[in-house]
Amino acid sequence: VLLRMHSVGICGSDVHYWQHGRIGDFVVKDPMVLGHEASGRVVKVGSEVTHLKPGDRVAIEPGVPREMDEFCKTGRYNLSPTIFFCATPPDDGNLCRYYKHSASYCYKLPDNVTFEEGALIEPLSVGIHACKRAGVTLGSKVFVSGSGPIGLVNVIVAKMMGAAAVVVTDLSASRLQKAKEVGADFTVQVKNETPQEVASKVEGVLGCMPDITVECTGVQACIQAGIYATRSGGTLVLVGLGPEMVTVPIVNAAVREVDIRGIFRYCNTWPVAIALLASKRINVKPLVTHRFPLEKALEAFETTKRGEGVKVMLKCDPTDQSP
């Protein structure tokens, strides 16, 4: 389908590519369009597309498998080594006026779900995938490390999935305030405590060690705190990406049977997210704190780089006034 783009969120990875030209093995070698948190309106459809028509409002899933490999066959297409992914070199993203995408990875938005909410499905999907991998369920006690956009969506999803208590840590008081707004039960502002001290504070406010820790910073000390904090037999999910090599108390985790799981993006989350947004069971609107027209993209990127607000949203189509 050909889309007229409407709302595109800026992600930390977009800023990282802009500033450093690489993330791990993904290196920018040629000019590349950024943007992968997006929604838009269908302008044209291919001859074999039946579920969409011009005028439809859609949310875009940025990862599209190029071949039906073993990972696709088992439903874990996010792990396919040849996957196309918006704004991961050398694949162009969708921060532009018009964009072409696989129709199977464009999801029609119900009338009561806005373009902005549609664009927020991408970060929300990270929370859905992480909380599923973590096994969050009724009564879970959850520790979310980091209160940036990804930490916040994990708070929202964990509460939605039945977590009885969620505690969030961060350096920033304003970000912790935002965590409270979206449903965190407890917050701990970290200053210069050791990882063990952070773990102890988390246990103190929760009244017990958390069953599940979702680490959203990628910072070595935070991963260490995540291991120390998680109760024996519990699960630590690593969402944040930091340096390739980190030193962690792996023996502590091993002898206490703390399961450490990774996540890579997400899979099969868009239908779930749309259903939750349409039923008003979750509210992601407070995440958007800044809006810029596409012409002011540089200003928008600089705002994100400075860490102001939470989610910065770019508006690509000034003529489309629908929500």
179, 205 Cβ separation under 8 angstroms:
no
pTM to 2 decimals? 0.97
Give the contacts of 236 (CB within 8 A, at least 6 positions apart): 212, 213, 215, 226, 227, 230, 253, 258, 259, 260, 261
Q: What percent of the chain has pLDDT over 70?
A: 100
Q: What is the pLDDT of residue 309?
A: 87
Distance of alpha carbon 145 from alpha carbon 159, whole angstroms: 15
If DSSP codes are grouped into helix, strand and coil, which group holds residue 22? strand
Domain ranges for the chain? 2-108+284-315, 134-262
Q: Residues 261-304: pLDDT tens digits? A: 999 999 999 999 999 999 999 999 999 999 999 999 999 999 99
d(CA 289, CA 299): 14
List CB contacts of 255: < 8 A, sequence separation 6 or more: none
The whole-number pLDDT of residue 321 equals 83
Q: Is 148 exposed, middle or buried (0-12, 13-18, 19+ CB in 10 A)?
A: buried
Q: What is residue 143's three-state secondary structure? A: strand
Preceding amide of 90 cis, omega within 30 = yes
pLDDT in tens, 233-253: 999 999 999 999 999 999 999
Which pair of structure tokens corresponds to residue 251?
Answer: 């023996």
Q: Which CATH class is domain 2-108+284-315?
A: alpha beta
Question: Rg of the chain over CA atoms, in angstroms?
Answer: 20
Judge whether 2-108+284-315 and 134-262 match in fold.
no
pLDDT of residue 83: 98
Which residue ranges of the chain lie beneath pLDDT 70? Answer: none
* Residue 322: per-residue pLDDT: 78
> Does the domain formed by 134-262 have CATH 2.40.50.100?
no
